């Protein structure tokens, strides 16, 4: 170890240090005409922030799928089908480098990264850009790639960047949900590898008991969502009005859209249909056959389904 | 250890409340049809809709069309990248409909008269030839300071009115915009001291052609952009509108409404090049 006033000039043995050339070195010319986008953060390619990703982790890990402890599953354990179990948060780490940074520009680089990488982010990857993963930034670490040479060439340093993101909802969703027309004719409903219900919109007028029937691809019934005002009363929706059913575990949320209201109608209520079974039918893992088939007992409507995948 | 249901409680709960996951947005007001709601990404901004009176015909992802009740906003599946599959979402707005963004109390927006950039992506549905509005920042009567993106004899014009004068920027394309074409406008308001200017740039992809960048990039980042001339300058006004009831409006200016399939509409602070567009 060399200690003294000029010790910063001298590296430890074996570090290959050489004093800088007294003649100015021309700025390095990048030979990269194009950097392929590997990851978008809020629709911005991370490469446009100068960040070259070289070690992402956690982005392709599978998610555990299962049922809550003690819940029985027909066909597996017998008994009734319960709500799917919760999933652990996905912790995603993006590691990479920002090249050719002048020491005096480090503040700008850091500011640009932290401006873009804060709060809840929407991430997409090059292998499936139509799938979206959402997560919150935990921390953005910026440090010299070679700490022992951080100040050796202050006009041309390399920064190592490490971004830690927590995705509490670890599922990937289709960026624009699939929209399927519903009627009394059977329609194939595509599903992803994770269960997600989506929303069913039913057009008025309706003045009869209404069933949303699900079938396997083989045509055998899987589940029925029976809509009634009371146990045996018909659903009553006028012309021009609509009924929305949000199907999520462990319940369905119904919303009645009367004429003249879009965003603030107070008529909300929860209903406890056999939705766990219905919901569980909506993923490749839970139903024996995919895709499933759906139809309404009468009327027309739409199923807006944001397919979900584990990766 | 946090345990959230795998069914997406974070997103679906928000969706049903007609609010969104609050993604860190770089925009002043940013809205995407793919989120399936009318509220923009920003917290503290509410949406009001002027509804149509008749049912709409919308398309499923596989192309099947069907009716949608008049009380539901007409989100529909569209082919945005030109590969023949309806992989994207758009909001179908008829000449009866408009979306207005404002404070949750109903009060107007208070925005500085400063440089800003509008990104507006849509599928042409007849507004341009009929000189109908696509977007505006204005009060109800379109008095005082008004910004408008609208049709102008089949072309697109970005117009600034100050209450006493107006300037307009156009972007004349080699191939005119036809029905079904996809268009992404970058309309800039540029403040230079006490003067204001406007400029319009367009990316135009005729119907049936592949978008230059498909890979799921709705913004068509890197696509060739035609940039129109910078307008002459006009003295800046002190506020937008008459200082009251200013709203950011989709498909509306004063009491005139357009018709379009809107894919996204983002208003950013500052004059930005296309490569700096984000959420």
Residues contacting residue B256 through CB under 8 Å, at least 6 positions apart:
B132, B133
> Is residue A195 very low, low, confident or very high in pLDDT (cuts 50, 70, 90)?
low
Q: Per the CB < 8 Å rule, is B16 touching A89?
A: no
Q: How confident is the model at residue B90 (pLDDT cuts 50, 70, 90)?
A: very high
Q: Is the pLDDT of residue B101 over 50?
A: yes
Q: Are A181 and B60 in contact (CB under 8 A)?
A: yes
- Pick the closest to residue A170 from B23, B2, B36 (CA basis): B2
- Out of B12, B36, B69, whose CB is closest to A241? B69
- Binary contact (A88, B2; C-beta < 8 A): yes
Of A89, A124, A168, the CB nearest to B216: A124
* Inter-chain residue contact B7 with A84, CB threshold 8 Å: yes
pLDDT, position B105: 85
CA B160/CA B147 separation, integer angstroms: 5
* The pLDDT value given to residue B271: 94
Instruction: Please give the share of chain A, as a percent, with pLDDT higher than 90.
Output: 14
- Asked whether residue B73 carries a pLDDT value surpassing 80, the answer given is yes
Closest CB to A120: pick one of B6, B22, B62.
Answer: B22
Give the C-alpha distances (Å, rounded to integers) separating B157 from B92, B127, B134, B187, B191: 21, 12, 10, 9, 18
Cis link prior to A205 (omega < 30° from 0)? yes
Mean pLDDT of A238-255: 65
pTM: 0.83
Chain Cα centroid distance, residue B46: 16
ipTM value: 0.83
How many whole angstroms separate alpha carbon B254 and alpha carbon B142? 5
Q: What is the pLDDT of residues A53-68, one digit of tens each?
A: 888 888 887 766 555 5
**Chain A residue with minimal CA distance to B39?**
A263
- A252 C-beta neighbours (distance < 10 Å), count: 23
A129/B215 touch (CB, cutoff 8 Å), yes or no: yes
Residue A209: what pLDDT? 78
pLDDT in tens, B142-190: 999 999 999 999 999 999 999 999 999 999 998 999 999 999 999 999 9
Burial of A309 (0-12, 13-18, 19+ CB in 10 A): buried
Residues 6+ apart with CB under 8 A from A95: A53, A54, A55, A56, A57, A160, A161, A162, A163
Own/partner pairs, A9-16, CB within 8 angstroms, 24+ separation: A11/A148, A15/A148
Give the closest residue to B188 by CA, choosing from B81, B276, B99, B279.
B276
Q: Do A253 and B18 touch (CB under 8 A)?
A: no
Chosen for mutation from B1, B10, B16, B24 (greatest number of chain A CBs closer than 10 Å) is B24
Q: Which residues of A27-43 are buried (b: 16+ CB within 10 A; e: fewer)?
A: eeeeeeeeeebbbbbbb
Mean pLDDT comparison of A40-54, A296-310, B148-162, highest-scoring range: B148-162
pLDDT of residue A236: 72
Supply the pLDDT for residue A77. 53
A306-to-A7, A195, A248, A309 alpha-carbon distances in Å: 61, 10, 12, 10
Q: What is the pLDDT of residue B71?
A: 79
How close B235 gets to chain A, by Cα (Å)? Answer: 33
Show the CA angle centred on residue A290, arms to residues A286 and A291, nearest 5°: 125
Residues B74-84: tens digit of each pLDDT: 999 999 888 88
Q: Is residue B122 over pLDDT 90?
A: yes
The predicted-structure confidence for B182-239, as pLDDT tens digits, reads as follows 999 999 999 999 999 999 999 999 988 887 654 545 456 667 889 999 999 999 999 9
Give the model's pLDDT for residue A265.
30
Sequence-distant contacts of B162-167: CB under 8 A, at least 24 apart: B162/B196, B162/B234, B162/B235, B162/B236, B162/B237, B163/B237, B164/B237, B165/B234, B165/B235, B166/B234, B167/B196, B167/B197, B167/B198, B167/B231, B167/B232, B167/B233, B167/B234
> Does A81 or B58 have the greater pLDDT score?
B58
Pull the structure tokens for residue A6.
């000029």
d(CA B244, CA B140): 9
Residues of A in contact with B23 (CB under 8 A): 42, 119-122, 134
Contact residues, chain A, for B73 at CB < 8 Å:
262
Q: What is the largest CA-CA distance in chain A?
A: 92
Closest to B183 measured CA to CA, from B264, B76, B101: B264
What is the model's pLDDT at position A254? 55
Q: How far apart are CA A154 and CA A146, in angstroms?
A: 12
- Judging contacts by C-beta atoms under 8 Å, the chain A residues touching residue B5 are 83-84, 86-87, 248-249
* Best mutation target, B1, B5, B59, B221, to test chain A (most A CBs within 10 A): B5
- Closest Cα in chain B, distance from residue A58 (Å): 16
What's residue B2's pLDDT?
A: 29
pLDDT of residue B16: 38
Taking contacts as CB-CB distances below 8 angstroms, the residues of chain B near A90 are none
Q: What confidence tier does B35 reach under pLDDT thresholds 50, 70, 90?
A: confident
Neighboring chain A residues of B279 at a CB cutoff of 8 Å: 42-44, 122
Q: Pick the residue of A128, A174, A179, A187 with the most B CBs within 10 A to test the interface with B by mutation.
A: A179
B272 pLDDT above the threshold of 50: yes
Asked if the Cβ–Cβ distance from A121 to B4 is below 8 Å, we say no
Nearest to B24 by CA among A94, A310, A165, A162: A165
pLDDT score of A29: 47
Cβ(A98)–Cβ(A161) under 8 Å?
Answer: yes
> Which chain B residue has its CA at the smallest distance from A257's CA?
B71
Region for B13 from its dihedrals, namely left if φ exceeds 0, alpha if ψ lies in -120 to 50, beta otherwise: alpha
Which residues of chain A neighbour B71 with C-beta distances below 8 Å? Answer: 240-242, 257-262
Q: Cα separation of A297 and B240, whole Å?
A: 52
Nearest CB neighbour to B6, from listed A63, A175, A180: A63
- Sequence-distant (6+) residues with CB within 8 A of A22 are none
Which residues on chain B are in Cβ contact (under 8 Å) with A261? 71
Predicted pLDDT of residue A34: 57
Q: Nearest C-alpha of chain B: how many angstroms from A43?
A: 5
Say if CB B270 and CB B119 are below 8 A apart.
no
pLDDT in tens, A124-171: 988 888 888 989 999 999 999 988 888 888 888 899 999 999 988 888
Q: Are B117 and B270 in contact (CB under 8 A)?
A: yes
Closest C-alpha to A309, from A208, A224, A195, A146: A195
List the single range of A1-5, A82-86, B67-71, B100-104 with lowest mean pLDDT.
Answer: A1-5
Q: Residue A278: name the closest of A87, A85, A83, A86 by CA.
A: A83
Query: In this structure, what token pair is assigned to residue A161?
Result: 């960047």
């Amino acid at each position: 170890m060399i200690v003294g006033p000029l010790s910063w000039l001298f590296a430890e043995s074996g570090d290959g240090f050489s004093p800088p050339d007294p003649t100015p070195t021309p700025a390095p010319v990048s030979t990269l005409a194009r950097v392929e986008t590997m990851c978008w953060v809020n629709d911005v390619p991370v490469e446009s922030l100068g960040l070259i990703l070289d070690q992402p982790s956690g982005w392709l890990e599978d998610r555990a799928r299962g049922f809550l402890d003690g819940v029985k599953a027909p066909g597996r354990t017998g008994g009734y089908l319960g709500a799917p179990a919760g999933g652990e948060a996905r912790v995603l780490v993006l590691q990479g480098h920002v090249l050719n940074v002048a020491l005096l520009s480090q503040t700008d680089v850091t500011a640009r990264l932290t401006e873009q990488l804060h709060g809840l982010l929407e991430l997409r990857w090059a292998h499936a850009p139509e799938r979206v993963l959402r997560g919150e930034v935990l921390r953005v670490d910026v440090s010299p790639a070679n700490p022992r040479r951080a100040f050796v060439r202050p006009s041309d340093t390399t920064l190592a960047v490490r971004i830690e993101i927590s995705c509490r909802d670890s599922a990937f969703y289709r960026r624009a949900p699939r929209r399927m027309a519903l009627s009394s004719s059977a329609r194939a409903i595509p599903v992803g590898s994770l269960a997600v219900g989506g929303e069913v919109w039913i057009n008025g007028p309706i003045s009869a008991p209404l069933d949303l029937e699900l079938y396997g691809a083989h045509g055998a019934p899987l589940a029925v969502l029976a809509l009634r005002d009371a146990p045996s009363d018909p659903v009553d929706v006028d012309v021009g009005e609509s009924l929305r059913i949000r199907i999520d575990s462990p319940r369905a949320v119904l919303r009645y859209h009367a004429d003249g209201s879009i965003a603030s109608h107070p008529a909300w209520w929860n209903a406890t249909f056999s939705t766990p079974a219905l919901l569980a039918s909506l993923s490749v893992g839970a139903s024996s056959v995919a895709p499933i088939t759906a139809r309404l007992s009468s009327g027309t409507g739409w199923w807006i389904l944001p397919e979900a995948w584990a990766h | 250890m946090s345990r959230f249901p795998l069914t997406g409680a974070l997103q679906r709960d928000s969706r049903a409340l007609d609010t969104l996951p609050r993604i860190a947005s770089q925009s002043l007001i940013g809205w995407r049809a793919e989120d399936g709601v009318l509220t923009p990404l920003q917290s503290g901004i509410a949406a009001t809709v002027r509804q149509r009176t008749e049912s709409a015909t919308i398309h499923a992802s596989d192309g099947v069309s069907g009716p949608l009740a008049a009380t539901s906003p007409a989100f529909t599946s569209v082919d945005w990248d030109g590969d023949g599959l309806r992989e994207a979402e758009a909001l179908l707005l008829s000449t009866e409909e408009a979306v207005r963004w404002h404070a949750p109390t109903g009060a107007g927006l208070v925005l500085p008269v400063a440089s800003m950039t509008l990104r507006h992506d849509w599928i042409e549905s007849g507004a341009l030839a009929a000189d109908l509005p696509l977007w505006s920042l204005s009060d109800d009567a379109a008095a005082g300071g008004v910004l408008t993106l609208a049709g102008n004899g089949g072309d697109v014009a970005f117009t600034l009115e100050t209450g006493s004068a107006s300037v307009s920027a156009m972007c004349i394309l080699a191939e005119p915009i036809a029905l079904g074409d996809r268009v992404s406008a970058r309309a800039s308001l540029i403040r230079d001291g006490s003067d204001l200017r406007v400029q319009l740039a367009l990316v135009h992809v005729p119907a049936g052609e592949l978008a230059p960048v498909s890979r799921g990039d709705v913004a068509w980042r890197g696509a060739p952009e035609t940039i129109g001339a910078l307008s002459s300058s006009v003295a800046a006004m002190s506020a937008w509108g008459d200082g009251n009831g200013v709203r950011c409006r989709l498909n509306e200016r004063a009491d005139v409404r357009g018709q379009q399939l809107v894919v996204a509409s983002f208003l950013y602070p500052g004059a930005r090049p296309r490569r700096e567009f984000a959420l």
